[in-house]
Amino acid sequence: MRMEVDLPDIGGFEYTGEFRAPKPGENYLNLDTDRVLYCEGLNRAKSFIMKRCRPRKDAGDRYWAVDVEGDILSFTEEYSRFDVSLYSFGNYWGSHEDAQMALERIKETMLNLHKELGR
């Protein structure tokens, strides 16, 4: 039986079509595997298996992100809330070169948006 679900966007993950009851301690922050369980609501009655659709570094590996001043910073993957936030938002790059390309695209997009808005 195919089940239609309306899941929130969890950056870097997509729904696999599978679901099951969560085990104690499981939630959507278990991001150190390729497949995670997303639990919706306090009673965790709705639980859906998600799979990673963007690459993620192993614990201890370096990754790069663009900060608010346009600098490229290097971080060590620890699966911390900070790492999870950068990954989920999409500001998580496997190389300095990829982060540099992202920065250039961000600058271009922002400039075009200002022109479009006329501000």
Tens digit of each residue's pLDDT, the chain (119 residues): 455 555 556 666 666 666 666 566 555 545 445 555 555 555 555 566 666 678 888 889 999 999 999 999 999 999 888 988 898 889 999 999 999 999 999 999 999 999 999 97
SS3 per residue for 69-117:
CCCEEEEECCCCHHHHHHHHHCCCECCHHHHHHHHHHHHHHHHHHHHHH
- Comparing CA positions, the residue from 1, 78, 86, 88 lying closest to residue 36 is 88
What pTM did the predictor assign? 0.63
